[in-house]
Chain A
Amino acid sequence: MGLRALVESAGAGLRRRRWLWLGVLGALLVAWPIFIHEVFFAYIATLMLLYTIGAASLHLVLRTGHLSLCHAAFMGLGGYTSALLTTRLGWPFALAFLASGLVPAAVALVVGPILLRLRGVYFVLITFTLGEIVRLVLNEWKSLTGGADGIFRIPPPSPLLVDKRAYYYFALAMAAICVGVIARILSSQTGRYIDSIRESERLAQSSGVPILRFKVMIFAIACGFVGFQGSLLAHFITFVAPGSYTFSESLNLLVMNVIGGMGGLAGPLIGAAFLTALPEFLRGWVELQRVLYGVVLVLVMLFVPGGLIEIGRRLLSTGRS
């Protein structure tokens, strides 16, 4: 049996035994810290996991056909909520964490009906504006948010989690739950409805469910999840500042989706891991690093619009004659 045939059958096997592969991945994610003790790796891996939550939640919004440029603003709402509740009011982490999802979701429910009426580039522009407004508010409302300095010395969720490697496992569990829920939504009847809305709104309307209300609900869920990421990040890095939730961060989340591939949930997960790791690989060449970032974006869009997932698929199907 030649190598080609081997790769080909592996590819076919991949598609058939998805659960096996998920199991292998899960085992790897749990086991690697046992063999690699470098704390820095745990640090980066934790960041990767937390960003999968945000990227996956943005994917939900993208699946409804809307491109949001304010997702980081909702992350900020979650992060600040959690920070304020634990540092100023002494709330236990579990409650603050819940609130960090509820607050952005509530805001999304309020502004959603206004925003989601718009489509295409108008939606992009209005979300951009909303993101800037949130940033301004976080910056200006000094008495509440600490202004541009932000809030420091945010306590860890528990004394057990001061160790970076312990936090890694915590993040792994949280990310698995969040992404799992999002995956469940996408593979259910709700998910099919989301796809039908994106493909043709008029057709979807004829099946009876009110579209705007549905989109707002999905939008609120997505904002709630990225709020969770905000909280987890805040307690990991131990501070929040308006500068962490700007347009460029929203862009980051978007690029994770694009580079990973927007066709399915796997895309943003891979994109999040890739983009979090990339600056670390390119640390030797700081100036070049940023140029390369731009070049990669352009090249992906031109040649591999399906993102890394598409690259993966193409590689696996090269076995075919």
Chain B
Amino acid sequence: MRRLILTVYVSAALAVLLGAATGWSEELKIGAVGTLSGGGTEWGLALQRGVTVAFDEINAAGGVKIGGKAYTLKMIMYDDAYTAQGGTTAATRLVNVDNVKFILGPIGSPPALGVVAVTNPAKVIALTNGYSPKILTPESKYSFRMQIPTDYFAPAVARWLRQTYPKVVKVGIISPNDAVGQTLAPLHVEAYNASKFDVVFDEKYDRGLKDFGPLLTRMMARGAQLLELDGNAPGEAGLMTKQARQLGFKGVIIQTGGPGLEEIIRVAGPFAEGFLSYDLFDPTDPGVQGYVKGYHAKYTGPVPGLSVVWFNAARVLHEALKKANSLDVDKVRDALENLGGTPTIFGPVRWTGKERYGINHQLLHSFLISEIKDGKVTLKARVEAGP
């Protein structure tokens, strides 16, 4: 009898201790930077929501287990106002005031350049985006890019276009006269030239322009058969599509970038029919469907296409933390670099970039080409990336 009581007591005590140990979870602060004011707010929100869905999932499953301890992931996000100075200030605050060691974001090149200027010297890991080639250099020891940039997908798209539209030769490119437009236009020119297209029109307009009639007329006078809209915000791309069709343009319209399909449908209405775009969001993929479910559990409205990139990025960070089994930045960085093959929503992790940027910190993934048909986004083709 006494032995029974003793056993019960000891088991109860053990149970309580065990329960308390697994119930204790410390908070692990993860920084996030994105545009939450001004024109780029949709992207900032996409980042915020994608990461939140990922974190909620991970925390619901018990958090991140590192060195025997369980950590709840908590995101601390600051606005970068889509400027370099905003990125710097947000990163400085995260690193110096909130003491984070891992940052997700930002999306645009100007703030991304600002952020990595702070995080790399401070030995803080940053998983960023941004199409500018200047974002990854041999000095980017602690920063990684989580989405393939234009110099990776533009050539692949041009090749696909060459195969799909053999009669089209003359290309027109209209871009905004800002950092994005100025960086991307030459990349597209190169990609199109490599696939035996002839770029007959490559011009820029100053931001704020809404009436592209004169520019489009000018382009059509040169005989363009395909209009490339990369670099343009979805609103402007939608307007250009609408106005081009209204002016009688019958050629192919594509945005090898973005993607901003939902907004283009909203803005261009029926004139968006046939619009092609680079896309990342494959609703037929079971992994993506799982994400969509998680998204709709928390938010209403259509899923922002870019948010899936950040859902993925958050998950990749989680995998690296698990693999490193430590919060030490160098160890996590090494774990990230060695994550090759780990399955993610975009296929297995593949790092590339050594020849082009001097460091293998570019995440490689395949993508899609979507088309707007009957007012809806439909999948047109799957393409492998590669310069």
Q: Do A and B bind each other?
A: yes
In the bound assembly, the distance between CA atoms of A39 and B92 in angstroms comes to: 9
Query: At the interface, is chain A mostly helix, strand, loop or mixed?
Result: helix
Q: Is the CB of B93 within 8 A of A149?
A: no
In the bound assembly, the distance between CA atoms of A31 and B182 in angstroms comes to: 46
B79 (CB) vs chain A CBs: closest residue: A286
Give every chain B residue within 8 A of A237 (Cβ-Cβ). Answer: 84-85, 88
Instruction: Please count the residue pairs between chain A and chain B whose beta carbons lie under 8 angstroms apart in the complex.
Output: 67
Among A270-311, those with CB < 8 Å from B are 280, 283, 286-287, 289-290
Can you list 29 contacts pairing A with B, beta carbon distance less than 8 Å? Answer: A38-B97, A43-B89, A43-B92, A43-B96, A136-B206, A139-B178, A142-B182, A148-B180, A148-B181, A148-B182, A149-B183, A152-B113, A152-B117, A152-B134, A237-B84, A237-B88, A239-B84, A239-B113, A239-B114, A241-B110, A243-B83, A243-B110, A244-B84, A244-B85, A283-B93, A286-B36, A286-B37, A287-B36, A290-B37
In the bound assembly, the distance between CA atoms of A290 and B88 in angstroms comes to: 20
Give every chain B residue within 8 A of A243 (Cβ-Cβ). Answer: 83-84, 110, 178-179
Give the residue of B79, B92, B113, B178 whose beta carbon is less than 8 angstroms from that of A148.
B178
Q: Is the CB of A238 within 8 A of B110?
A: no
Give every chain B residue within 8 A of A136 (Cβ-Cβ). Answer: 206
- Chain A 30-67 interface mask (CB, 8 Å, partner B; 1/0): 00000000111001000000000000000000000000
Give the residue of B117, B132, B180 whose beta carbon is less than 8 angstroms from that of A239.
B117
Q: Is A140 an interface residue (CB 8 A)?
A: yes
Given A238-B117, A287-B37: A149 and B134 within 8 A (CB)?
A: yes
Q: Is A113 an interface residue (CB 8 A)?
A: no
Give every chain B residue within 8 A of A283 (Cβ-Cβ). Answer: 78-79, 93
In the bound assembly, the distance between CA atoms of A87 and B269 in angstroms comes to: 48
Q: Which 7 A-B pairs have the closest CB atoms?
A: A148-B179, A40-B96, A39-B96, A148-B178, A40-B97, A147-B182, A149-B179
In the bound assembly, the distance between CA atoms of A136 and B83 in angstroms comes to: 17
- Chain B 167-204 interface mask (CB, 8 Å, partner A; 1/0): 00000000001111111000000000000000000000
Give every chain A residue within 8 A of B181 (Cβ-Cβ). Answer: 148
In the bound assembly, the distance between CA atoms of A43 and B181 in angstroms comes to: 31
In the bound assembly, the distance between CA atoms of A237 and B113 in angstroms comes to: 12
Number of interface residues of B (CB under 8 A): 28
State how many angstroms separate the Cβ of A147 from the closest Cβ of chain B. Answer: 5
In the bound assembly, the distance between CA atoms of A300 and B177 in angstroms comes to: 37
Give every chain B residue within 8 A of A263 (Cβ-Cβ). Answer: none
Q: Is A150 an interface residue (CB 8 A)?
A: yes
List 8 extra interface pairs beyond A148-B177, A289-B37, CB under 8 A.
A139-B206, A140-B177, A148-B179, A152-B117, A241-B83, A241-B84, A286-B37, A286-B79
Give every chain A residue within 8 A of B83 (Cβ-Cβ). Answer: 241, 243-244
The residues of B with any CB-CB pair to A shorter than 8 Å are 36-37, 78-79, 83-85, 88-89, 92-93, 96-97, 109-110, 113-114, 117, 132, 134, 177-183, 206
The residues of A with any CB-CB pair to B shorter than 8 Å are 38-40, 43, 136, 139-140, 142, 147-150, 152, 237-239, 241, 243-244, 280, 283, 286-287, 289-290
Give every chain A residue within 8 A of B79 (Cβ-Cβ). Answer: 283, 286
In the bound assembly, the distance between CA atoms of A149 and B181 in angstroms comes to: 10
State how many angstroms separate the Cβ of A31 from the closest Cβ of chain B. Answer: 21
State how many angstroms separate the Cβ of B182 from the closest Cβ of chain A. Answer: 5
Give the residue of A40, A238, A241 whose beta carbon is less than 8 angstroms from that of B93.
A40
State how many angstroms separate the Cβ of A240 from the closest Cβ of chain B. Answer: 9
Give every chain B residue within 8 A of A239 (Cβ-Cβ). Answer: 84, 113-114, 117
Give every chain A residue within 8 A of B134 (Cβ-Cβ). Answer: 149, 152
